[in-house]
Homo-oligomer: A and B are copies of this chain.
Amino acid sequence: MPDRLSRNPSAAPAPAQRADARHNRARLLQAARDAYALDGTDVPSSAIARRAGVGAATLYRHFPTRDSLIAAAFSEQFAQCVATVDEALAADDPWHGLRTALTKLCRMQAEDRGFSAAFLAEFPDAPDVRPERARAAAGVARLVQRAKDTGQLREDFDTSDITLLLLANNGVLQDSPAASMAASRRLLAYFFQSCRPTDGAPLPEPAPLRIENLYRTPRRTE
């Protein structure tokens, strides 16, 4: 923050400067969300700074790493994912709980391709995202186990099949949220029908996409 210090070396920033900083931060987050929704999270940070009408230095002051910008841009949605899993765990009917949670998560992906990309990406430089993710992943594993315990979910279902679903759902997203939603709903209907206990053929092994593989390091374009 050399420019701020040089103007006012000993005191905290003046209120006008703080308001300015808040304003820039909000503009950057909005620009990031807009850019990610259009082009995925591979968009270079420089393009986001341009879109927000701020300099690169301002961007890096607020968000020193790309991961920290992505994590901040989608912090509300990440919190919503955790809440969705918690609600599902509180449902009386485990299969209904699991179904509702997956439906909500897939809808969140369909509503915003940028979020969907962020949701599936790994953020090695944004450690604050990790505990939330670990909590959500543990909750999903419990949801799966509960639905198996009540005989509502096929025995050979693996928690990693949730990963498979979320990646597949990301794959069917279209240019408009409405088209994405229709594709996602249909994919989910197929998936749910094949999740039920069955006398049919067992699923092929080796199954699992390990849950860690859900999070893929996004391609760096800078």
User: Interface segment, A10-18, A122-130, A161-169?
Assistant: A161-169
Taking a contact as CB atoms under 8 Å apart, the answer to whether B190 and A39 are in contact is no
Q: A168-B171, A171-B172, A172-B167 are in contact. Are A219 and B186 (CB under 8 A)?
A: no
Complex Cα spacing A64 to B203, Å: 46
Instruction: Provide the bound-state CA to CA distance between A158 and B40, in Å.
Output: 29
- Count the A residues whose beta carbon is within 8 Å of the partner chain — how many? 36
**A213 pairs with B174, CB closer than 8 A:** yes
Q: Are B206 and A182 in contact (CB-based, < 8 A)?
A: yes
Chain B neighbourhood of A185, CB < 8 A: 204
Known contacts A171-B172, A172-B168, A200-B193, A161 near B179 by CB under 8 Å: no
Q: Does chain B have a CB within 8 A of A194?
A: yes
The answer to whether A201 and B189 touch across the interface, beta carbons within 8 angstroms, is yes
- Tell me which residues across on chain B come within 8 A of A169, comparing CB atoms: 168, 171
- Interface membership of A65, Cβ < 8 A: no
Q: Which of B161, B186, B209 contacts A207 (CB 8 A)?
A: B186
Partner of A191, one of B39, B194, B196, B200: B194
Chain B residue at minimal CB-CB distance from A207: B186
Alpha-carbon separation in the docked complex, A81 to B166 (Å): 27
Interface membership of chain A positions 68-95, coded 1 if the CB is closer than 8 angstroms to chain B and 0 otherwise: 0000000000000000000000000000
Q: Is A198 an interface residue (CB 8 A)?
A: yes
Asked if A168 and B194 sit within 8 Å, CB to CB, the answer is no
Q: How far is the CA of A183 from the CA of B196 in the complex (A)?
A: 19
A170 within 8 A of B: yes
Residue A187 at the B interface, CB < 8 A? yes
A165 to chain B minimum Cβ distance, whole angstroms, is 9
Q: How far is the CA of A147 from the CA of B80 in the complex (A)?
A: 42
